[in-house]
Amino acid sequence: MESYRKELWFEASRRRELINITSYIDQCLKESSIKEGLVLVNAMHITASVFINDDESGLHSDFEKWLEKLAPEKPYSQYQHNGFEDNADAHLKRTIMGREVVVAVTEGKLDLGPWEQVFYGEFDGMRKKRVLIKIIGE
C-alpha cells in the first residue's frame, strides 16, 4: 500500500467563498502515482467545508442565501459561541455542507460522476486556512 499527503492553503478574500479545487486534487493524484484506492479531502478548520456539487454560479448564490436562512451570520449575539469571536454561524454552515469527501481512485483518475466537482467552502475567510489531501492505494 502506498500513501500520499499534501496540504493546500487558501486565503479567501471574503468571509464566504466557494472555490473549485478539483484540479488541485487531480494534480496530487498524478504526483502520488496511485492507480487504485481512495482519496480523502478534508477541511482542516472547523469553519470551512469540502463538498462535492455543481460548478454553477446560480447554484452557488442559492447556497449562500440558503445557508444564511438556516444559520444566519447576524445578529452575532444570537450565538453563545460569539463571545470573543463572531463565527458561530460558520461552524453551523460548515456542518450542513460537510467537513470532507472521500473519492474513489480508478485507473489513476478521480472517479467522479459527470458533473461532480470538489469545492472548498469558506465560511470565515480573510485568513489562511488549509485543506488536507490523503491518498491511499496502489
Q: Which of 58, 75 has the CB closer to a second copy?
A: 58
Give min distance, CB of 112 to a second copy, in A: 7
The total of other beta-carbon atoms located within 10 Å of residue 3's CB is 11
Q: What are phi and psi of 55, to 5 degrees?
A: -90, 75
Candidates 32, 42, 73, 123: give the one binding a second copy (CB under 8 A). 42
Candidates 74, 115, 127, 128: give the one binding a second copy (CB under 8 A). 115
Q: How far is CA 53 from the centre of its chain?
A: 11
Torsion of CA 68, 127, 30, 105, to 10 degrees: -30
Q: Which of 26, 52 has the CB closer to a second copy?
A: 52
Q: How far is CA 70 from the centre of its chain?
A: 19
DSSP state of 21: -
- Stretch 44-73 residues interacting with a second copy (CB under 8 A): 44-46, 51-54, 56-59, 61-63, 66, 70-71
- The residue count for binding a second copy (CB under 8 A) is 57
16 belongs to the binding site for a second copy (CB under 8 A): no
Q: Which residue bears the cell 475567510?
A: 125
Candidates 29, 97, 122, 123: give the one binding a second copy (CB under 8 A). 97
- List, in order, residues 6 or more apart from 6 with CB less than 8 Å away: 28, 31, 132, 133
Binding site for a second copy (CB under 8 A): 1, 3, 5, 36-38, 40, 42-46, 51-54, 56-59, 61-63, 66, 70-71, 79-83, 88, 91-92, 95-104, 106, 111-116, 130, 132, 134, 136-138
